A and B are shown apart, each in its own frame.
Chain A
Amino acid sequence: MIDFLATALIVLALVCAAWALLLAVLDKPLTLDTKLTLGIAGAVVLLEFGLLVQAVIGVVKLIGLDRDIASATFVGYLIGPVVVLPLAGFWAIAERSRWGAAVLVVGCLSVPVMIVRLQQIWAGHA
């Protein structure tokens, strides 16, 4: 679809996931008062913003599309990561142990999965 943005978002999501995994392994809760935890919060907010931009562009492109794709599923995968990431973020921050960071790993890893499915549907093989 928008290959450059999608690729950038996948890379950013994987960086966030690796970062969160590091925090979980180092047993650092998401306290938001250290450089490492504030940094990942910033990166996740940036990722969320990028996903929102992708959702808007995706819907606009879908409206102007002249071929047939699974549009309901497509919109689902556009909105999915936009909704899942903040839910995972808040659920993670409320936990004061390493398991909060582990929640963020799962939340961030779900993003590339959904973007890859999005691209498959856009390409026509749903």
Chain B
Amino acid sequence: MPDTRSGPGRLLIAVYGLFAVAATARSGVQIATRFAEAPVAYLLSAFAAVVYVVATVTLAVGSRTSRRVAWVSCAVELVGVVVVGAVSYLVPSWFPQATVWSHFGSGYLFIPLVLPVLGLLWLRRTAATAV
């Protein structure tokens, strides 16, 4: 099984790690200080944070099981950013406070939209070259 954490994977995991740290810290502060303002948005932020942490760790580990979990995390992320992104445009009142996935991640340079795609492609690439 080729390494998921060498070459471009190294950079991918670094960006995932950055998002994991940022999303966890941000959602921790939101839930601790002003949860009542927008419980749905903040719970969603917390969920996104967990997904980023799982994706970071499983991509870094790269064993057979962990690759499978990483694939699911990336897929969940992609669905999340597309669905939440669409809903945040169609029914803005559902998300009074922005989440990392609102507006397809436009507040984060659209990285949340690009990241899961790159993650899935990287998993496929490293699997394809497996001996």
- Using a CB–CB cutoff of 8 Å, the interface residues on chain A facing chain B are 70, 72-73, 76, 80, 83-84, 87-88, 91-92, 95, 97, 99-100, 102-103, 106-107, 110
In the complex, chain A residues whose CB is within 8 Å of the CB of B9: 99
A76 pairs with B6, CB closer than 8 A? no
In the complex, chain B residues whose CB is within 8 Å of the CB of A106: 11, 14-15, 18
B25 pairs with A91, CB closer than 8 A? no
- Using a CB–CB cutoff of 8 Å, the interface residues on chain B facing chain A are 6-11, 13-15, 17-18, 21-22, 25-26, 29, 32-33
Looking at chain A's contact residues, is the secondary structure mostly helix, strand, loop, or mixed?
helix
In the complex, chain B residues whose CB is within 8 Å of the CB of A76: 25-26, 29
Looking at the complex, which one of A80, A88, A97 makes contact with B14 (CB distance below 8 Å)?
A88
Least CB distance from A115 to B in Å reads 14
B8 pairs with A99, CB closer than 8 A? yes
The 27 sampled A-B contact pairs (Cβ below 8 Å) are A70-B33, A72-B32, A72-B33, A76-B25, A76-B26, A76-B29, A80-B21, A80-B25, A83-B21, A84-B18, A84-B21, A87-B17, A88-B18, A91-B10, A91-B14, A92-B10, A95-B6, A97-B6, A99-B6, A99-B7, A99-B10, A100-B10, A102-B11, A103-B14, A106-B15, A107-B14, A110-B18
Least CB distance from B14 to A in Å reads 4
Instruction: A95 to B15: give the CA distance in the assembly, Å.
Output: 15
In the complex, chain B residues whose CB is within 8 Å of the CB of A80: 21-22, 25
Instruction: A61 to B85: give the CA distance in the assembly, Å.
Output: 39
In the complex, chain B residues whose CB is within 8 Å of the CB of A100: 10
In the complex, chain A residues whose CB is within 8 Å of the CB of B22: 80
In the complex, chain B residues whose CB is within 8 Å of the CB of A97: 6-7, 10
Least CB distance from B80 to A in Å reads 22
Tell me the nearest residue of chain A to B25, going by C-beta.
A76
Looking at the complex, which one of B10, B18, B26 makes contact with A95 (CB distance below 8 Å)?
B10
